[in-house]
Amino acid sequence: MQAATGYPDAVLKLRDLLNSYLGPEKVALVLKAYDMGEAAHRGQTRKTGEPYILHPVAVAQILANMRMDHESLAAAILHDTIEDTPLTWDEIRSQFGSEIADLVEGVTKLDKMKFRTRVQADAESFRKLMLAMSLDLRVIFIKLADRLHNMRTLSSMSNSSRRRIARETLDIYAPIADRLGMNSMKHELEDMGFANLYPWRHSTIAEHLKTVMGDRKEIVGNILEVLRARMSDAGVPCRIKGRQKSPYSIYQKMLARDMSFRDVTDFFAFRIITDTEAHCYLALGAVHTLYPPKPGRFKDYIALPKANGYQSLHTILNSPYGMPIEIQIRTEDMDLMASKGAAAHWQNKGEDASGQPTAGSAEVRAREWLMRLVDVQRHTADSLEFLDHAKSDLFPDEIFVFTPKGKIIDLRQNATALDFGYAIHTDVGNHTATALVDNLEVPLSTRLANGQTVKILTDPAVQPQPQWLEFAATARARTAIRHYLKSLRQEDTVTLGMQLLEKALNTRGSSIDEVPDETWRQYLKENHFKRQDELFNDLALGNTLASLVAAKLAPEKSPQAVAAGGSEAITIAGSEGSALSFAACCLPVPGDKIMAYVSTDKGLVVHRVQCSNVREFRKHPDRCVDVSWAPITKGMFPVAVRIIARNTPGVLASISTSIGEANSNIERVAQPEANPETATLLFTVSVRDRDHMARVLRRLRRNSNVVRVNRIG
């Protein structure tokens, strides 16, 4: 409906709301944005049939209800113009300045992102979404308001579109709203997403809730009266309101605990909102004297705020009416933050005298979270890997632990002592040697629990290990470990690739140093390598064959011209790193006669000469490499042993003792077959070399329970 002023009723309603908290010149700028947006969208309609401009006006209304600034509101009204109309960024900038134009462009980029599910999301788009949020949080506020209005008007879409958009909302946008502390928006997005994705389930639960609450209306009224009287007696100034649990929260509880609807009993919650923290704790004591609290169900999010800045006291009481009651207690400021989260910063809440957000506010915590993600993406080249890391931070169950100085560190559930080290600083994590939890030394893989105090001792000699990835839980830790291992692997592969090429050139009577610079430049350019290191890396991984490269770099030389044996074998010391591996089929140990095969993507794989696979490898001589053991080798090497033993009680312990007496460790054991007389046991044990292996076998043969023992492979 058009008013006499020329503005639709929706715009007049928006104007009246803006006049309640913005100055006249700022309200005028928002109306100017409407004039530009209306002209740009003129003639366009939504699927509902209404003029398109009413959608961005509704988005601005949602933001105005959150008391957002005038730049956000102007950008909200113009947010679809760059993509859907001839209007350009330059034209918006000329009228409104770069700040508003950049906000519009930021939202436009987000609008182009098409998500499917959290598992199958467009990973690169998700990366851009996180980075856009890190540059200006208002971009995601506008996008969330846009999604909220789209969900409110979803009925005009087809069934398949409704389900797709609902799934996307539940998987991407509601969790982001939650992570930003915007609980009111999160709850509405969740319930509308649930209603459109599973309409029958939503309506069934909603009907059950309506019936239950109708039956309990008198009980709820009685509890409210009793709570108000108790707060008055305790001298707690407050307002109390009841809150019915949403169908989606009930559904989530049914799924998580495998419960039926009739088993879910806490359908109703009461919220006590007072003026100070002291009154919050006074109110808590008062309600605990009113009804007995359920053990283990009290949570103090005031002393230990959630990662998104949420603060409140939560407790569950056993009422005399046969149903548990959830009580939430918070201050007015906490209630505002719980509703609007990071967006409350633009309402001039949570700021100190300098106008900056205070430490611990939702806005600061949101920025800290986003900066952690930015740090993760810097070290993550693969978008799918980044998405995996982001999801682990976006959907956490938090725990809170302390440094020795009392600083609170929030981590995801199942985080380990190693994750704590990386939460302090990447360098601390990379050099974590020892972890003390409540003054007791624990393994780095120890899962942490709420309230523990953790101290990390570092050692410059300690470096990240591949096995750390087996128990590191946080995105920051896993990214840092992978980044280190990748850089280490590249060093290993470059060194090995150089050795392979040097050997191939030696067979042609040449060497790397003898190849002219111009020949190098020409070869690298023709084969799309930017540097020699990239070529060496490809050689080590088997993606390029050293003999073929040597033939190109030294074409005038011929392998036949080199005397037999003129090229030295590559020596293996056991410390070559991840570019070289020992074949699982034959498990070579120092002292065995060996050869190596350049396997695609696996690098150099060392086999025993008598391995059954070597005959097949010899059919590809370009991939076969002469190798020999270095005079001094490092580390322990696995070897497979088959033992036929008497099938008597204690035989396994007896054999284990024999292996230990030979100074060897058992890495793996299996029993593939047994009969009443004998049992076949397959052991993988670690040895230093063939001599050590021989001592292990001799010790086993002297064991009275061992009938026969031999090496496998």
My answer on whether 170 and 220 are in the same domain is no
Quick one: 459 and 491 in the same domain?
Answer: no
Out of 50, 69, 83, 534, the active site residue is 83
Domain identity same for 531 and 665: no
- Marked catalytic residue, from 84, 277, 332, 689: 84
Q: Among residues 202, 235, 265, which one ends one of the domains?
A: 202
User: In this structure, are 384 and 447 located in the same domain?
Assistant: yes
Determine, yes or no, domain membership for 1. no
For residues 89 and 101, the answer to whether their CB atoms sit within 8 Å is yes
Is 416 in the same domain as 499?
A: no
User: Measured between alpha carbons, how far apart are the two ends of the chain, in Å?
Assistant: 85
CB 108 within 8 A of CB 82: yes
Integer CA distances (angstroms), 479 to 308, 461, 485, in order: 22, 20, 10
We report the CATH number of the domain holding residue 446 as 3.10.20.30
Single out the residue in 581, 604, 629 at which a domain terminates: 629
- The answer on 111 and 44 residing in a single domain is yes
Residue found by looking up tokens 């043969």 in the block:
701
What is the CATH classification number for the domain harbouring 261? 3.30.460.10
My answer on whether 31 and 115 are in the same domain is: yes
**Both structure tokens of 172:** 């991407």
Please check whether residue 406 lies inside any domain of the structure. Answer: yes
Q: Are residues 220 and 148 in the same domain?
A: no
Residue type, 638: P
Pair 72, 195 in one domain = yes
pLDDT of residue 366: 61
Residue 581 CA to its chain's centroid (Å): 30
Provide the domain count of the chain.
Answer: 5
Residues 22 and 169 reside in one and the same domain: yes
Half-sphere exposure of 193 (CA within 13 A, CB side): 24
* Ranges of the chain whose pLDDT falls below 70: 1-6, 109-135, 214-215, 256-257, 259, 262-267, 307, 342-398, 488-489, 557-568, 575-579, 601-602
Amino acid at the residue 319? S
292 and 423 assigned to the same domain? no
Q: Is residue 353 part of a domain?
A: no
**CB neighbours of 445 closer than 8 A, spacing ≥ 6?**
416, 417, 418, 470, 471
Let me know if 83 is a catalytic residue. yes
- What 3-state DSSP class applies to 673? strand
**Residue 51: inside a domain:** yes
Q: Is 84 a catalytic residue?
A: yes
DSSP 590: B
Residue 441 placed within a domain: yes
Tell me what pLDDT residue 401 has.
82
- Residue-level pLDDT at 486: 72
Write down how long the chain is. 713
In a shared domain, residues 114 and 67: yes
Q: Is residue 88 part of a domain?
A: yes
What is the predicted pLDDT for the residue at 386?
60
Domain boundary among 596, 629, 662: 629
Q: Which two structure tokens, joined as six digits, stand for 703? A: 């064991």
Q: How far apart are CA 417 and CA 403, in angstroms?
A: 12
CATH of the domain at 641: 3.30.70.260
Q: Which residue has the tokens 């390029």?
A: 544
Q: Is 280 helix (H, G, I), strand (E, B) or coil?
A: helix
What range defines the domain where residue 403 resides? Answer: 364-482
What 8-state DSSP symbol labels residue 347? Answer: G
Q: What is the DSSP letter of 123?
A: H
